[in-house]
Structure 1
Amino acid sequence: EIHIKAFGSPGDSFFHVEPVIPALQELWTALLSMLNRAQQAEGLGYLKPFIKELESIDVSAK
């Protein structure tokens, strides 16, 4: 189970997303890949800031 908290709106300077429970790296990568493909295929440009935030999250094991 993955919980995600999002603060603000995409494009806001204070927009921040963080995993509450760290996701498995493979699952996180698959999610980002799926979002990127959907954004490109459907022309969902408004997802770009959100995807960028998600890509910046470090979900590697610590």
Structure 2
Amino acid sequence: MTEDNNTQIVNLSKLNSSSTSKFGGKASNLGELINSGINVPEGFAINTDLYFDFLNKSN
């Protein structure tokens, strides 16, 4: 991922294999597919820190 590490919501096309620790394997792999030219529906990914913060505040 080329953006700074504090980005919490990103377009899937900005992700790659180095994004796995912050955005998960599925989102990172979808980013890899998009960047290799495979037709993948547009989407976004939420940083794992944001997800866990949401869970903590929801309970």
Specify the TM-score bucket, using the shorter chain as the normaliser: 0.3 to 0.5
Q: Normalising by the residue count of structure 2, what TM-score does the alignment of the two structures yield?
A: 0.34
TM-score (norm 1): 0.33
Q: Which has the higher helix share?
A: 2
